[in-house]
Amino acid sequence: MTTNAAAVRAVSAAGKSAAERFGVMEMPSLDFTADVARETEHLYERVSHHIPRIEWPVYAPYIAAINRLKKERGAVILAHNYQTPDIFHCVADIVGDSLQLAREATKVDAEIIVQCGVHFMAETSKLLNLDKTVLIPDMKAGCSLAESITGADVRLLRETYPGVPIVTYVNTSAEVKAESDICCTSANAVEVVESFGVDRVLCIPDEFLAQNVAAQTKVKVLTWKGHCEVHERFTAEELTAYREADPSIQIIAHPECPPEVVAVSDFAGSTSGMIDYVRKNRPPKVLLVTECSMASNIETEAPGVEFIKPCNLCPHMKRITLPKILESLVFMREEIHVDPAVAERARLAVERMVNLRN
Ligand code: 13P
Ligand code: SF4
Pocket lining: 124 vs ligand 1, CB cutoff 6 Å: no
24 marked among binding-site residues? no
- Helix H segments across 255-337? 259-263, 271-281, 293-298, 322-331
129 marked among binding-site residues? no
- DSSP, collapsed to helix, strand or coil, labels residue 42 as helix
Residue 195's nearest CA partner among 159, 166, 224 is 166
- Which ligand 2 atom is the nearest neighbour of the CA of 143? 1
Distance CA 7, CA 221 (A): 35
Cα–Cα distance list, 319 to 15, 27, 75, 77 (Å): 28, 20, 20, 16
Distance CA 333, CA 19 (A): 7
Q: What pLDDT tens digit does each residue of the chain (358 aa) get?
A: 333 444 444 444 458 999 999 999 999 999 999 999 999 999 999 999 999 999 999 999 999 999 999 999 999 999 999 999 999 999 999 999 998 998 898 898 999 999 999 999 999 999 999 999 999 999 999 999 999 999 999 999 999 999 999 999 999 999 999 999 999 999 999 999 999 999 999 999 999 999 999 999 999 999 999 999 999 999 999 999 999 999 999 999 999 999 999 999 999 999 999 999 999 999 999 999 999 999 999 988 888 899 998 878 999 999 999 999 999 999 999 999 999 999 999 999 999 998 887 5
Domains and CATH numbers, the chain: 5-142+318-338 (3.40.50.10800), 146-228 (3.40.50.10800), 232-313 (3.40.50.10800)
Going from the Cα of 270 to the center of ligand 1, the distance in angstroms, rounded, reads 6
**What number of other Cβ atoms are within 10 A of residue 102's Cβ?**
23
pLDDT value at residue 14: 52
Q: Which of 186, 314, 320 to mutate to test the pocket of ligand 2 (most atoms within 8 A of CB)?
A: 314
pLDDT value at residue 6: 40
188 marked among binding-site residues? no
Going from the Cα of 98 to the center of ligand 1, the distance in angstroms, rounded, reads 6
Going from the Cα of 84 to the center of ligand 2, the distance in angstroms, rounded, reads 14
